[in-house]
Amino acid sequence: MMIALRSLVPLVLALLATGAAGWTLHREMTRVPQEWQAVVRRQAAEDADRLAALPAQPLPPLARFTAVRDKPLFSPLRRPPGATVEEVAAPEDSPRSAPAPTRPLRATLRGIVGVGEARKAILQAGPGGPVYIAPGEELDGWTLMEIHPNAVDFARDGRRTTLTLSYKP
């Protein structure tokens, strides 16, 4: 046993020496000379001054970004997500009165955001920007009833509509 341990001592010492040499070499190669650090700091200060002197540029109108809206980056097919609309007729209280035709909800579910129990649905309801609504709020006469992980339920005049995300985030 003692002979086996003695034969390992040179190997262990060689490994320690190699590791120390490697660490020293790494430290020397990654060290940045002081004069280079001063040059980098001076250049960064000059760049910051030049940027501060530039006039503020107004943001371009949103109409210039229609390609981003029409081909979403995270959609697998690079097409805008379409809503799956399932309309379910609620049971009528009175069979003698037929409800007037209800205008369908023309909106696309873009996303769902929430913190804790507070949730809002992000909908595209026309050419303008997105609309954020919470349960109980209305959009185009339809009331948002419930928000699910990948869908929202609306109700109007006894009818229900479900908008579903066309892709999972």
Cut 0.75: pTM above it: no
Higher pLDDT, 136 or 96: 136
d(Cα 131, Cα 42) in Å, to the nearest integer? 47
- Structural domains of the chain in order of their starting residue, each with its CATH number: 104-168 (2.30.30.830)
- Condensed to tens digits (0 to 9), the pLDDT of residues 58-103 reads 777 877 777 776 776 666 666 665 534 343 344 555 455 555 567 8
d(Cα 93, Cα 158) in Å, to the nearest integer? 10
The dihedrals phi and psi of 58, each to the nearest 5 degrees, come to: -70, 150
Please work out, in degrees rounded to the nearest 5, the angle formed at the alpha carbon of residue 27 by the alpha carbons of 47 and 11: 160
